[in-house]
Amino acid sequence: MIISSKICLSVLSLMLLSAHIDAAAQQGACCDDALGECADNTAEVDCPPDHRFAPNTLCADLEPPCGEPCDNVPIIIEVRTDQVPGETTWELFDDFENLIASGGPYVNLETLHVRQVCVQPGCYWFTIYDTYGDGICCRRGQGYYNVYYDDSLFCSGGGFRSSESCQFGINCPDPTGACCVEHECVGTMTEAECQNLNGDWAFHSDCDSGFDCASFFPCENYVVGDFNASGVFNIADVVMAFRSLMWDSYPELFCQCPPGSGDFWYVRMDVNASCAFNIADVVSAFSKLKTGAPELAPCPECPPGP
């Protein structure tokens, strides 16, 4: 009898363990109906008890859809995280700068998160942030975001730096932002007004709030191969380049080329001007220790960076 009881307990333990493993392996859509937020490819054990879990289902296929029925205008915000989801957050404001909704930081990497916000017809603006400053695409994963207003796509992207904003909806006034002319913030105005001054325009920024026009010109006065941004090129840069390559973890040393274009590339790190960072750049950097890295060169004609 004792042996039988032990066998039964062992079998029961195995069954419970197997059930736990199955639950951990089971993935699907995890929906918070109260908030109207859903996450794809979520393990069942990671979906909170007060959420709705649908195995082997994507958020877009949930029936009924995630969230309460919307009697006004739905804003749908999709955010697919990169490999560092904890860096990503977003905010949604109305035209009076009242915070309507926010999201993140996230936990699951390379996961699509969908949020529905029900609003009155009007003008809104959305801002997404990345605390590291490398956006959500394409340096560490293929992240992206989409913002729909009343089923129409108004905003999308992923390749930004610390933040990116867009305005959408109905009856929106012309957006204003800081205008930089020859590195000086000359005023807050519309994009068209800034273009008339041959300036660079930053959406939803304000000169009076201390907007730094230098952010438009990060490629100026850099030293090729200066991986640690010390202003000089030496053995420390070669060591850092090698470690970055081995760990697939690159410092924030990309630049806009040309300045103000919004296209970013790893100009500092692209020692051999191949429009990529790889082992060849580390070898080139090492070989240049004797002669010194070249000074600022024209921006290479590379595709848009992350």
Name, in order, each residue with C-beta under 8 angstroms of 247's C-beta and a sequence gap of 6 or more: none
pLDDT digits (tens, 9 = 90+) for 285-295: 787 777 765 55
pLDDT of 40 strictly over 80: yes
Q: How far apart are CA 229 and CA 252, in angstroms?
A: 9
Domain boundaries, the chain: 70-169, 176-215, 217-306
User: In the sheet that 52-55 helps form, which strands lie side by side, from edge to edge?
Assistant: 52-55, 27-32, 37-43, 112-119, 73-80, 144-149, 152-157
Q: Model confidence at 219, in pLDDT bands (50, 70, 90)?
A: low
Region 104-119 average pLDDT: 94
pLDDT digits (tens, 9 = 90+) for 63-83: 989 988 899 999 999 999 998
pLDDT of 1 strictly over 50: no
Which tokens belong to 298?
């024209």
Residue 146: per-residue pLDDT: 96
- The answer to whether the CB of 127 falls within 8 A of the CB of 165 is yes
Q: Comparing 207 with 7, which gets the higher pLDDT?
A: 207
pLDDT digits (tens, 9 = 90+) for 151-201: 999 999 887 777 888 999 999 988 888 898 877 899 999 989 999 998 888
CATH fold group of domain 217-306:
Type 1 dockerin domain (1.10.1330)
pLDDT digits (tens, 9 = 90+) for 252-281: 445 555 544 545 555 567 777 666 677 887
* Main-chain phi, psi angles of 94, to 5 degrees: -90, 180
pLDDT of 133 strictly over 80: no
Which tokens belong to 59?
């958020």
pLDDT of 17 strictly over 60: no
- 3-state SS of 8-62 is HHHHHHHHHHHHHHHHHHCEEEEEECCCCEEEEEEEHHHCCCCCEEEECCCHHHC
CATH number for the domain whose boundaries are 70-169: 2.60.40
